[in-house]
Amino acid sequence: MAALLRGSRCLVGKCHNHVNAVQVSIRSMASKTQVGFVGLGNMGNPMAKNLIKHGYPVIASDVFPESCKELQELGAQILDSPADVADKADRIITMLPSSPNVIDVYTGPNGILKKVKKGSLLIDSSTIDPAVSKDMAVAAEKLGAVFMDAPVSGGVGAATSGKLTFMVGGPEEEFNAAKELLSCMGANVVYCGQVGTGQAAKICNNMLLAIGMIGTAETMNLGIRLGLDPKLLAKILNMSSGRCWSSDTYNPVPGVMEGVPSANNYQGGFGTTLMAKDLGLAQYTATNTKTPVPLGSLAHQIYRMMCARGYASKDFSSVFQFLREEEGQ
């Protein structure tokens, strides 16, 4: 079946429409064949685990071997490089920290595209510059493979519970094949348009998330300074028009909620460094499209300052702690 899938693209020049239809039908039949996964960090690890839970044999690789141990114990096959993964699997998911990592994993000396098979489906769930996604798609297409961007929202908690939201960009005729895999790891899989549009949606979401978190942190801090109990204030906000995800699901004030990073010294979750990176992407794309984003720009500055002040590895909700420390200076 995998060989059929790999070979299906060879006939494209002869009968493009027919082959596309055949490819899609073959992909839907190819379920439970092995899936490659590259990048087993805070997000990639639980995502790969959910593929295993749904019965997919996983072939994985990560630049840090220790990240692979847990997955190996669950039955995953661990290989040395992304190229080795591409040699074994026709469907590969990547989850990496930044654009340079994606470029290296796909086009580097040991990259996926060194050994990718014709007909392979490559799904990148990293949050990167949309232009890089487009470049990877062009490079993959030259080798007869399909690249789709599918960044996620929901954080480590949603990755663990299989309730991520995937924003997918790429050829529409390949969306169902991608959705088959992504649905094992997410509750929402949304088609956004051509390659790069998934990244665009994610960048916009995270810019709003950062602005909302800073606003929630400022509001909670002001209320506490005015003598309000933080739990009471959060309760009032969450039944009023100021309610948002940062106030009702991911409150940044220690002691207000359980099971969130603020209850664990801001460990885990979505790191400040990653939020600063995503805001940098928003700033870059806003500049290129001449889009005014004054609050997005200010949020970017705040998170960059936090990275320089010792908050780089803490969850991005630690902006509350950062503001408290700033007021004492």
Residues with catalytic roles: 202
Contact 82, 105 (CB under 8 A): yes
- Structure tokens of 18? 């027919």
Longest alpha-carbon distance in the chain: 74
Over the chain, what HEC string results? CHHHHHHHHHHCCCCHHHHHHHHHHHHHHCCCCCEEEECCCCCHHHHHHHHHHCCCCEEEECCCHHHHHHHHHCCCEECCCHHHHHHHCCEEEECCCCHHHHHHHHHCCCCHHHHCCCCCEEEECCCCCHHHHHHHHHHHHHCCCEEEECCEECHHHHHHHCCEEEEEECCHHHHHHHHHHHCCCEEEEEEEECCCHHHHHHHHHHHHHHHHHHHHHHHHHHHHHCCCCHHHHHHHHCCCCCCCHHHHCCCCCCCCCCCCHHHHCCCCCCEHHHHHHHHHHHHHHHHHCCCCCHHHHHHHHHHHHHHHCCCCCCEHHHHHHHHHHHHCC
Neighbours of 271 (CB within 10 A): 21
